[in-house]
Each structure stands twice: as structure tokens, then as C-alpha cells.
Structure 1
Amino acid sequence: MKIVILGAGVIGITSAWYLAKAGHEVTVIDRQSAPALETSFANAGEISPGYSSPWAAPGIPQKAVKWLFMKRAPLILNPLFDAATVKWLAAMLRNCTAERYAINKARMVRVAEYSRDCLKALREETGIQYDHRTQGTLEVFRTQKQIDGIQKDLKVLEAGGVPFEVLDVAGCVKAEPGLSGARDKLMGGLRLPNDETGDCFLFTQGLAKKAEALGVRYLFDTTIDGIRTDGNRVVAVATSAGEIEADVFVAALGSYTPQMVRPLGLSVPVYPVKGYSITVPIANESRAPVSTVMDEAHKVAITRLGGRIRVGGMAEIAGFSKALPQKRKDMLTYVVEDLFEGAGNQSEAKFWSGLRPMTPDGTPVIGKTRYDNLWLNTGHGTLGWTMSCGSGRVLADLISGLKPEIRTDDLALSRYG
């Protein structure tokens, strides 16, 4: 079949790869000049199936109120309360129950674990290089209350068969020697040994080239103006390069997916939650992280990417703003220096922001819409990199009429009614 994919981020490119492998004729359209130049460009770099958790969790409403008055808050609410923002926040709050949290986390871990397996197979098949490491994720806790609060997560990990280690401070330092200078600031940690790290941008660009060798065609520097339908089918997409027809269409536009499909009467509950990162060259190898360290107190991930350190985090409700306030950079700098003092050359830090496509329940939207040939692969939030290969493989199987290797009926848009 002829398939058009809207969007050339990591989700669009992995979808293109698996669809091309299945024998389809694939075209990818993107407004940028190359793949992965928006949200996939400089994310935190962690591939963390075990850390896949919805932001909507019990206690989050109370924590959010406290965060509003914190100097270094992980959640920032700007005074932007349009209808879309209010509706999305209300839906997220409805998911902040123990029952919904367990359901949503189980879904997310299912997709993320499968995705890691798909990535491993893809890496072995292609030899693709992207500054990857397979040395796990360490979540560090600064208070006993944080340690006590992980029990519900441990039950989900146990149920999903995900290996984990609960560590004392000495165990944390053994896993990440660079933390030795911060041992007095820690109370313990949770290590997920099967997690990985890697540069999403390098991966996506490399996979795009390999997909091109399979026949995937790219239309870069091409704006998508709209989608034309006839009855319950999509006929074509209108672009700056003219109308493009196909048998199947896939919307993988991240945070921009809702506005693209809204004229078709589709309501996709994806909101752009802004995140930030800095990337710094390593200045002192002995103080640098080995893999990924997640600071639970600040919700900031610190990841080793080759000779660089990527520091990413925060969740800002600011619509589609891509501004780069200095105080956000200062927050990331503070966290990495507090835990890994002197590890990176902060004078050469590169500051970035991206719009994470978040659903109210944290689970991505993967599956068919009420239009027979329009599919969605979006809403991965902070876990697009973690879930990318699994999401692409699942989508390709569904479109090809094959039974996916994991359950998918609760991933489609239809779960929202």
C-alpha cells in the first residue's frame, strides 16, 4: 500500500521504518529540513521502560499546589487558561486516582518494555550507532518520604516482570561513582538495570537514512495545510508541494496532531507540555554520570551521551511557546552541579526546549480513527524516545493486518469515548 506519514520525529521515522520493512511504499512529510529537528532533537536521552509512569498520579494535585511556590519547581503553570488548557488539565486530574494510575502505568510499561526489545533487535539488525549505553537508570531520592512513596511503583514493576534494585546510599554511589561528592544529599535510590540511554536525534537521523535505503521517500521543507476526506476515508493531504494521495495516512505530528485532525471532527486529547534541556561537554570524567540518573525531587534526568551530559526535565504549561527563560536553564544547571559538581563545562552549555505531546492519562494514542484509513501515532509525552520503536512496530503490524505482539485495544483514540 501507499502510505503517507505526517511528521518526521522519532515516532514518524520509526513508523516509516517498520512500514517499509513490511513492504509498503512510504512517504514522510515534514515542515523541517531534516528529521528530528523539533521535540526529538535534544530530549533527556533516557530509554526507561521501568520509569514509565503517568504524570497523573495520586497526590499530584496536592504536590502541584506546593510546586507553585517552590523556587525550583518541576511543574510550572503559566497564566494561560484557554479552553484547551483547562479541558486537558481537568482530564488529567480525573486520572489522579490510585486505580487509574495503576491502569495507565501498566499500559505505559507494556508499550515501553516492548519498545526496548524492538530497539535492541533493530540495533542488532542494522548496527545503528547513537551514543547508546545499556547500563540502566538510577532514580535517586533525597528524603525518606520519597523512598516510602515508591511502593506502588514496585508492585507494578513486579507485576510486569521488570527487574529493579532498591539501593542505599552506598549502592547508589557504587552504581554511579560520580555521586560520591553528593552522598550526604541522598537517602537511597531505585535502579532499573535494563534501561538504556542514547541520543534520540542521532538515532532518528541514522534510521531515516536506513529507511531511505528501503525506499522511503521524504518531503522536507513541506508544510501540511490540511486533510481532504470523502465520506469515511481520507483522500489526500494538501501541502505546499501540492496534494498527495495515498491508501493510508498516519498522523505522527506530536503536539500538533490535534489541530491537524480537528477539522475532521476528531478530538485528540494531546497537549504540548514544554520541557527543557541543556547539553554540556564532559570536563571531568571521574565526576560524570555513567548512564542516566533521575533526581526524583526535581524530576530532572541527567544522562551520559558519549562525551556529553544531557540534563532534561521540567513540565511547563505554556501552550506552544518555545521561549528559553534563563531561570529554566539555571534550574537544570543547579541540579546537575548539585549531584555531579564539576562534571561538565557549563560555560559551553547548549540550552533547548521542546513540546512534549502529553495525553491526560500518560498513555500514547496508537491506532485507527473513525476514518477507515487514518491512523494516529502520537501522545507519547516524555517517553517518545522510550516508546518509539515499539509504537512504530505496533502501528505497522496493525496497518498490515497482522496481530501485534502486545495488547493494543486500549491504546487507540476510542478509549476516550
Structure 2
Amino acid sequence: MRVCVLGAGVVGLTSAYQLARDGHDVTILEGRDGAALEASFANGGQLSYSYVAPLADPSVLPHLPAWLLQNDSALRFVPRLDPRQWRWCLSFLLACRGGRARQTAVEMLRLGALSREALHELVQRESIDFNYVRNGKLVVYRDANAFDAARRKMDFLQAAGSEQRALDAAACVALEPALEHARPLLAGGIHTPSEEAGDCHRFSVALAGVLNTRYGVAIHYETPVHSFVTERGAALAVRTPRGEIRADAFVVALGNGSAPLLHALGMRLPMYPLTGYSLTIPVAPGHAPRVSVTDLHRKVVYAPLGERLRIAGMVEIAGMDVTRRDRRLDLLKRQAQEIFPAAGNYAAAQTWCGHRPATPDSKPLIGSTRYRNLWLNTGHGALGFTLACGSARLIADAIAGRAPPLEPGAYAWPR
């Protein structure tokens, strides 16, 4: 079967990989001039399969006023005259209900476990260099009450198959000596040895090469998709600057581009761009973290990528606006120097600002649409790298008509 995948980010490329492995004739269309140049380009770098809990959770509600009003808050809401923004925010608040949030957390953990299995299989099968390390993750807490709450949640995560242990401040520093400067700030930490890290952009570029040379996948860059040609409940082709491109099935993995493309077909996807920021600095050996670290107080993540350190954080509900870019990057740099002042050359930091395609409940949209040969694999928010391989396996199973390893309705749209 001829399958056309729209989008060459990490989700589109992994989808193409699973489909090509199934023997399909796969073509990828990408509007940019290379792979993974949008949300996949310089994300946090952590593969956090045990930390995929939804942003929408009852515990965030008491913190919302401070988070949304303070200039140095990790989460900021910048109101706009955009009905999509307000619909998304209302749906987010509804998704914070306790029972729904708990069920979403379970479903996300299951997808995370499938993704870990699928990535391990891919890494074993293909020769891909992306600074991949199975180095574990340490989430550090500055507030004793927050640390106590995290310890109480360990039973839930351990029941889902996650190996974890609670550490006091001294044990955190023993595990990660680069935290010595921050020791007075720490109440404790939760260590998850199974977590991993890697460079999503390098992974995507390498996978694109494997797809082309080993599996014969055609990748057309600088080929934006303008619209669909449909007839009698099926998609026949997509319109591009290269003309119409026909296929037997289409997978929409365009991230933030998915919603406007499908809106023309009468489908309103519940997605909105959440802005995030990152720094990538050359490391100072012996002073940069060796394990992945998350500073929960600041909502900042640190991922070692070979001789570089990726520092990422913040969520802005501001549409595609980037007017605050420099101020937010300066804030991120100050917050990083607060905990890892000697980690590397901050003056030489490579900076990035990206827009994560997020759903209100944090679950991606994976599965069929009202068009019988048009499929979704989009809306992964900040978890695209972590969930990509598992999502790709789900979409490939759905297209092949195989029994899926997870309940597909959990990620279906509409829901």
C-alpha cells in the first residue's frame, strides 16, 4: 500500500519507519528544508517514560494564579483574541478533574512503556548515533512538602513498572556530584534509573537517512501540503507546490500544522501551541551533570548530550508569539546557573524557542478520522520524543488492521 506521511518531525519519521517495516511504499512530505526543524529540533532531550503524567492535574489548580501572573513563572498565560486559546484553556481545566487525570496518567504511562520498548528495538536494529545514553533521571525538590508528595506517588509509579527510590539531599549529591553547589537548596530527590536521554534532532536526521537508504522511503523536503483532495469519504491526494500527490492512505503528523490543514475538512482538533525554550551549552568536564536532572521547582530539565548539555523549560500559552523570547531565554540561563553554575560555557549557549503541539489533556491524537484512509498521529506536546516510537507502532497497527498492544480508544479523536 502507498502511504503518505505528512511531516518529518520525530513523530512523522518514526511513523514512516514502522510503516516501511510493514512493507508499505512510504513517502514523506515536509514543508521545511530538513528533518525535525520544528518542535523536535532542540527539545529537552530527556526520554522520560515514567514522567509522562498530564499537565492537567488537580494539583496544578492551586498554583495557577501564581504561575500565570508572575513574570518568572515556569507557566505563563498570555491572553490573546483567539477563540482557540480560550477553548483550549477551558478544556484544560475540565481535564484537571481527579478521576479523569488519574486515568490519563495510566494511559500515558502505558504509551511511555510501549515507546521505550519500541525505541530499544529500533536502536538495536538500526545504526543511529544521537548521543543516546541510559543514564537515569533525578528529579530534585526544593520544597519538603512537594518531596513528601512525590514519595507518596512512588507506589503508583512502581505499580506501573517504574523502579524508583527516594534520596535525601546528601544522597542526591552523591549520585550527581554536579549538584554540590545546589545542596543547600535541596529537600531531596526521586531517582529513576531506567530513564534515558538523547538528541532528538540527531535521532531524526539519522533515522531519515536510514529510511531513505535502507527502506527506500522518499522524503520530499520544501513540500508543504496546502489541502486534501477528497471524494466519498476518502482522501485521494494532497495538493502541494509539486502538484497533487496521491496515496492509498495518509498519516497527518504535522504537529502544529495539523489543525489548520484538517480544519478545511471540517475537523477541529483540540490542539494549541505551547511555547518552550532551551539552551545547549558546551560542558565543562567534571562540573556538568552525568544523569538527567529535573529541577521541579523551576520546571527546568537538564540532559547530557555527549559534550553538550541541553537545558530546557517553561510553558507559555501565548500562541505563536515570540516577542518575549530573549527575556525568557535570559531567565532560563539565570535559573540554570543557580543550580549548575559551572556546568559549561553559558556565554556560548545555542538558544531555541519552539512551539509544542499540545492537547488539553496531554494525550496525543492517534488513530482514524471520518475519512476512512486518513489517520492522525499528532498533538504530543512536550513528549514527542518520549512517545514517538510507541505512537508510531500504534498507528502502524491501526493501518494494518492488527490487534494493538494498547487500548487504541484511549488516544483516539474525538474523545
* TM-score range for the pair, normalised by the shorter chain length: over 0.9
- Report if the CA contact (8 A) 1:137-1:292 is conserved: yes
State the alpha-carbon separation in 2 of the partners of residues 377 and 156 from structure 1: 28
CA contact (8 A) 1:228 1:235 kept: yes
1:216 maps to which residue?
217
State the TM-score, normalized to the length of structure 2: 0.97
Match of 2:72 in 1: 72
Partners of 1:151 and 1:185 lie apart in 2 by 18
Partner of 1:113: 113
What is the match of residue 374 of structure 2? 374
Which residue does the alignment assign to 1:348?
348
> Any residues of structure 2 matched to 1:62-101 within 5 Å, and which?
62-101=62-101
Deviations 1:34-55 (A, max 9, x none): 1101110000000001111111
Confirm or deny that 1:122 pairs with 2:122. yes
Shift of 1:360: 0.8
Q: Distance in 2 between matches of 1:187 and 1:173?
A: 12
Residue 39 of structure 2 is matched in structure 1 by: 39
Structure 1 residues without counterparts, runs of 5 or longer: none
User: 2:104 is aligned with what amino acid?
Assistant: N
C-alpha separation between the residues in 1 aligned to 2:304 and 2:328? Answer: 20
In the alignment, the residues of structure 2 paired with residue 272 and residue 387 of structure 1 have an alpha-carbon distance, to the nearest angstrom, of: 18
Residue type of the alignment partner of 1:260: L
In structure 1, the partner of 2:280 is 279
- Output the amino acid matched with 1:353: C
SS at match of 2:409: coil
Distance change in 2, residues 1:64/1:53 (3 Å):
same
Secondary structure, in 3 states, of the residue corresponding to 2:258?
Answer: helix
CA contact (8 A) 1:54 1:101 kept: yes
Residue 250 of structure 2 is matched in structure 1 by 249
Displacement of 1:172 in angstroms is 1.1
Q: Which residue of 1 aligns with 2:239?
A: 238
Mapping for residues 2-401 of structure 1, pairs under 5 Å: 2-150=2-150, 153-213=153-213, 214-282=215-283, 284-323=284-323, 325-401=325-401
What TM-score do the two structures reach when normalised by structure 1? Answer: 0.97
**Does structure 2 conserve the Cα–Cα contact (< 8 Å) formed by 1:322 and 1:354?**
no
1:43/1:312 contact within 8 Å kept: yes
Change (3 A) 1:189 1:128: same
Task: Say if 1:324 and 1:352, in contact at 8 Å, map to a contact too.
Answer: no
Q: Secondary structure at the match of 2:393?
A: helix
Distance 1:63 1:296, change over 3 A: same
Structure 2, unaligned runs of 5 or more: none
- 1:149 aligned counterpart, secondary structure: helix
Structure 1 residue 119 displacement after superposition: 0.6
Which amino acid is the alignment partner of residue 14 of structure 1?
T
In structure 1, C-alpha distance between the alignment counterparts of 2:244 and 2:37, rounded to whole Å: 24
Give the AA of the match of 1:17.
Y
Helix, strand or coil for the counterpart of 1:276?
A: strand
1:323 is displaced (CA, Å) by 4.5
- How many pairs align? 414
User: Are the aligned partners of 2:325 and 2:353 in contact in 1 as well (CA < 8 Å)?
Assistant: no
Deviation string 1:363-415 (CA, Å, 9 cap, x unpaired) is 11110111100000011111000001111111111111212222222111032
Identity of aligned residues (%): 39
Kindly provide the CA deviation profile for residues 76-98 of structure 1, in whole angstroms up to 9, marking residues without a partner as x: 11131411000000000001122
**How far apart are the structure 2 equivalents of 1:63 and 1:318?**
19
Return closer, same or farther for 1:151/1:266 CA change in 2, 3 Å cut-off.
farther
| Helix, strand or coil at the partner of 2:321 | coil
Q: Which moved more, 1:76-85 or 1:355-364?
A: 76-85
Contact 2:11 2:377 survives alignment (8 Å): yes
What is the distance in 1 between the residues matched to 2:126 and 2:142?
41
